[in-house]
Structure 1
């Protein structure tokens, strides 16, 4: 199976930031400014995918809308900033043996690379008296994650000379791929989402207001690569839109079991679909305390187009010398794709179902007047699928308004595959209009230390009509 340049570029995004886990909603510049802390902060349409119960809280604008919010985050827990920069600055240079060994060691990590890209095309929320609040948005997401154990990293950079091959290597007695790759994950997921959510107040007592909410999303799957080996079990499949221009070869395309999707000139033709649900509760205790819990992304994705799967098999001897230059994306694809020198042998399949990246979210916050708000969040992944967090996220977020129309945000966050972050954000935030930009980790942008992380979120057209009582 030959993979063309457009797909390799897309895989490069996955491989150079990688890939996975949608730790926070990066298209929401307010959330990013607090490092992803959001459960008690979000209101109106921003509650979608986080806690729909916040739609029923007091103070939401009667109508809120936005067009074109965007965010991206790239990070590594094992590479240094100079190493990441080498893949750009020294892309055409050959690697020496010592450089290959150094990179193999650096790529050996359960969080080698992570990437998240979010874009909200349009979002709208409306408060209807008595009935409750409704919200809608259209969102695009790309998430990815790369984790390599020692064997897989050495196979990638050293190829046939990797230490896993003894001098008397015998394919008949070779170990299984699941053993060789144990602890390895190569994951990519790209989606279009259409979300609708509803929330309303369900209990109002002196000093206590309780609201509940539910959300639904229809998901179009544009592409997935999910290769994982853990505890002796291998799972490997892919389904990619025709726009990725994958040459599957005659052996696959002529197979009657292969449900090939043809390019019909759409930007990215879906090859999967899914349905997801969110549930949430939110409490306002007195005038200062906020609390919220939610479970998001309950549901499944079903992949049917251009679907390939691989089963466990014995380790084969590679023929290549591994990565020979800083342009390593081709070798990464060759190692895991259905090529002539791949670790895995794929077969066509009709259908592959997978759970959505379900998360449990909890938060507590304190609002002091109209100028200061503090919140603490915990987000726990409830499964290990492409698109979920690799580990628990913790965060403390702070919003400060030194002036009525300026909001400064910061905090500290940890986990979620990105280590410790120190976010910062600036917004012009009146009762009717907001614009802002933020980064999830200022230190990750400015320093050359290990664990580099860079992120940027921005939005320039967030409108609110009808003053809420919370303001």
Structure 2
């Protein structure tokens, strides 16, 4: 698994593409804290509300190359600890540092990472048909929430108190010792198609409907959720992660995928979006959408685990700030894994389905405000841990500058104050934004995020 961190670092720094928020690769939405259900237009409506493609009066053609966004946050780590986990991964942990991190990671929201990138997207308005958009996007998500035993095992290994204080014949079950532990990672490669059309077009009332389809390649997944009496644990990782599977390689039931170039998938699936958009009068906009309906089928390098006696680690736990790689070795499928995994042929899992609702007020071409509520409809890896609520505004002090801000909360993060800056003219936009200005600066509850787009073009219409 020695290249796992390299892939994650690439996702955090390059226009490829951790709780999942589809709009993070949309720099205009990021500046409003993710409020997008009534704002998003053309290809940026993909994965948010495809019905917005049915709006009329905007650009006839819109396209982009390389819109991307990354974010990392915690509600238990301090800023200095998060910085080291992200930027000083080669640094070795001292015994005091291991104990400090074991305490900090004892939290149901110890670490949330997400990165999205739209590598290429195009939207076209066609007579009669409506708006059609296509895109390619890569999404990476990760979430870490550990109970006290899991955090101590992760950082102290065989010296964790649960091992040193337990008698030889009193070994607890995983579901007893690790209840409340969640560990998820997902890397998805998507090809999207969306369509929206106007159904009712009256002077004071317009109704649009839309639908989207995506073909999803699963490059990797780790989904471990432990509750009292219940353990869900499975992994399927592409050969690009270079995992040492040890003796499981000799099991005839293990569907091993050998190393190949590129992001070789180990799973495939199909996703769907449905949406409605209403424009009432000259100012009010309403939006409703179901996104990421569908399933993934994981089949390559698939391992699963059931409830079992807690294994004792041979190692002394995580020894550096290279957390993502080392925690995966312990909890996922490394040679010194905490679980006894068995090979599987196939596992079907739902996509991270969400219900999005939004209300927007367009006061003028210079000012628009909106409210979004996004509710996760399942608990699979990559979905929001809690409901997202946000209020966002766009303001144009001049015809060529747009400022965005607002307030947002939930989705595994605390209260955030976003900020976005966009330079725009009738054919071209360039912008940069952050999900939380305070999170960039504060020591407690740090949230480091940035989204940017430098090649967004809108042709044949007036810039909104």
Q: Scaled by the length of structure 2, what TM-score is found?
A: 0.94
1:426-441 maps to which residues of 2 (within 5 A)?
Answer: 426-441=421-436
Q: Which runs of 5+ in 1 are unaligned?
A: none
Q: Are residues 400 and 330 of structure 1, via their aligned partners in 2, closer, same or farther at CA, if it must alter by over 3 Å?
A: closer
1:341 CA drift (Å)? 3.3
Aligned to 1:155: 153
Q: Secondary structure at the match of 2:152?
A: helix
Aligned to 2:94: 95
1:369 CA drift (Å)? 1.2
1:232 CA drift (Å)? 2.3
Specify which of 130, 134, 137 is matched with residue 135 of structure 2: 137
1:10 CA drift (Å)? 4.1
Give the conservation status (yes or no) of the 8 Å contact 1:159–1:322.
yes
1:134 CA drift (Å)? 0.7
Q: Secondary structure at the match of 1:72?
A: strand
Q: Which runs of 5+ in 2 are unaligned?
A: none
Q: Secondary structure at the match of 1:223?
A: strand
The RMSD of aligned alpha carbons is 2.1
Deviations 1:98-154 (CA, angstroms, capped at 9, x unpaired): 443322121011111111111111111111112211111011111111110111011
1:467 CA drift (Å)? 1.3
Aligned to 1:285: 280
Aligned to 1:33: 31
For 2:40 and 2:337, how far apart are their aligned partners in 1?
Answer: 46
Give the conservation status (yes or no) of the 8 Å contact 1:94–1:325.
yes
Q: Scaled by the length of structure 1, what TM-score is found?
A: 0.93
Aligned to 1:333: 328
For 1:276 and 1:400, how far apart are their aligned partners in 2?
Answer: 34
Deviations 1:167-204 (CA, angstroms, capped at 9, x unpaired): 45235x42210221111111111111011011111112
1:228-377 maps to which residues of 2 (within 5 A)?
Answer: 228-249=225-246, 251-264=247-260, 266-329=261-324, 331-377=326-372
1:322 CA drift (Å)? 2.7
Aligned to 1:450: 444
Specify which of 388, 398, 409 is matched with residue 403 of structure 1: 398
Give the conservation status (yes or no) of the 8 Å contact 2:5–2:322.
no
Aligned to 2:194: 197
For 2:133 and 2:320, how far apart are their aligned partners in 1?
Answer: 49
Specify which of 441, 455, 459 is matched with residue 461 of structure 1: 455
Q: Are residues 343 and 11 of structure 1, via their aligned partners in 2, closer, same or farther at CA, if it must alter by over 3 Å?
A: farther
For 1:169 and 1:459, how far apart are their aligned partners in 2?
Answer: 58
Specify which of 42, 64, 78 is matched with residue 76 of structure 2: 78
Give the conservation status (yes or no) of the 8 Å contact 1:8–1:333.
no
